[in-house]
Amino acid sequence: MVSVRSNIPARILVISMAGIGDTLQATPVFEELRLQFPGARLHAAVVWAGSAQLLHGNPHVDQVHQFNLLHGSKPAALRFLLGLRSHHFDLSLTLHPQGRREYRIVTRIIGARQRLSHDYENRSVIDRCLVTHSLPQDYVVSGAENNLRLLSLLGLPRRLTNPATRLHLSDGELRWAESCERSLGLEGRPWLGIHAGSGGTKNLSLRRWPADSWIAFARLLAQARPDIPIVAFGGPGEQQVHEQLRAALPPDRIHFPQTPDLRHAAALVARASAFLSVDTAFMHIAAATRVPHQCVIETPTLNPPVEPLRPDWIRIPNPAVGGRSLDFYRYDGRPIAGTPDELTRIMQSVTPEAVAEHVLRGFTRH
């Protein structure tokens, strides 16, 4: 255990280089650190531009450093990391679920005096040289809880009593969302937001629900509730499935808003009556914006650490997963276990009828 009371850190770095949703799950850590060290400068290091966007405006984050270490050149990546090193951080926290050893190597290059991380299944003697203090990850609690537990390594009692993911949207972004909703003819109407994509690293795209299933679901929704349109969110990674949805459904049934960036998309998500997705960044955005009815299709990667940080979300069961997500995916740097055909069949096992049943329950009050 480290004692920091006699040497309060002035510069703290939170390393959150996993997915965009994982960074949103990290927002309670910034809030806790601000409570613990109100005079410290709190920095964040992220990989994805979307992660940086979601931290913008957060009153607990003083500076965000973003560089795509996956796609940038090695010389540029080294310059980025050495630039972080030049800040001479007193403390760094490498957040869950950054299980690959490369994340801890990054932590060592940045070189904060105290470097906190988790122990993963791939831990070895090498990790003792990369971080100064660690504790075991816990697969049965949220990522936010795993991260807040790092503070115990500093001997600090927790101060945050109700951790929740936070998005600090501006008045301008909220006004834009209101105007967009009006332009789509949705003002004052219940509508369903969907995200038909998923992360694209490793083989995570294989956890997507098939396009044919999305189309069949949309038709079932139209039959049961013709007054409830769908708004599809996503970026370039969802272009193909959006084209399939556009070709298969009447234009008044589904809308594809052009959002300036992820923050404006989040502001529009906040106006939805319900939201449906697999475990993606948009799942966490829907949780953070408190969409009234949130449904998540179970995938092989839906472990407790990545579940929405809210008590009232709905899991749509996947019979081929059956709650055994740890048999398919762990935070050890490896992809989802299974061949592409096997994983495709797993996602096909969730029927459009089952999804429609769960989603429609959220509209019974309308």
- Residue 244 φ/ψ region, left for φ over 0, alpha for ψ in the -120 to 50 degree band, beta for the rest: alpha
Q: What is the pLDDT of residues 235-276, one digit of tens each?
A: 999 999 999 999 999 999 999 999 999 999 999 999 999 999
For residue 364, what pLDDT is reported?
A: 73
The domain ranges of the chain are 11-154, 171-361
Residue 5 has pLDDT above 80, yes or no: no
Instruction: Tell me the backbone φ, ψ of residue 118, rounded to 5 degrees.
Output: -110, 160
What residues form DSSP beta bridges with 54? none
Q: What is the pLDDT of residues 101-124, one digit of tens each?
A: 999 999 999 999 999 999 998 888
Burial of 140 (0-12, 13-18, 19+ CB in 10 A): exposed
Class of domain 11-154: alpha beta
Q: How confident is the model at residue 7 (pLDDT cuts 50, 70, 90)?
A: confident
Rounded to the nearest 10 degrees, how much is the dihedral formed by the CA atoms of 185, 191, 192, 195? 30
Q: How confident is the model at residue 128 (pLDDT cuts 50, 70, 90)?
A: confident
For residue 1, what pLDDT is reported?
A: 56
For residue 332, what pLDDT is reported?
A: 86
For residue 124, what pLDDT is reported?
A: 82
For residue 362, what pLDDT is reported?
A: 86
Residue 6 has pLDDT above 70, yes or no: no
Q: How confident is the model at residue 366 (pLDDT cuts 50, 70, 90)?
A: very low
Q: What's the mean pLDDT when you consider all of the chain? A: 94
Residue 33 has pLDDT above 50, yes or no: yes
For residue 2, what pLDDT is reported?
A: 57
Residue 202 has pLDDT above 90, yes or no: no
Q: Give CA angle at 253 (252, 254), nearest 5°.
A: 100
Residue 9 has pLDDT above 90, yes or no: yes
Q: What is the pLDDT of residues 330-365, one digit of tens each?
A: 998 889 999 999 999 999 999 999 999 999 998 875
As a whole number, mean pLDDT of residues 32-54 equals: 96
Q: What is the pLDDT of residues 274-332, one digit of tens each?
A: 999 999 999 999 999 999 999 999 999 999 999 999 999 999 999 999 999 999 999 98
Question: Distance between CA atoms of 252 and 261, rounded to whole angstroms?
Answer: 24
3-state secondary structure of 27: helix
Domains 11-154 and 171-361 fall in the same CATH topology: yes
Least confident of 41-45, 118-122, 167-171, 361-365: 361-365
Please check whether the domain covering 171-361 is classified as CATH 3.20.20.100. no
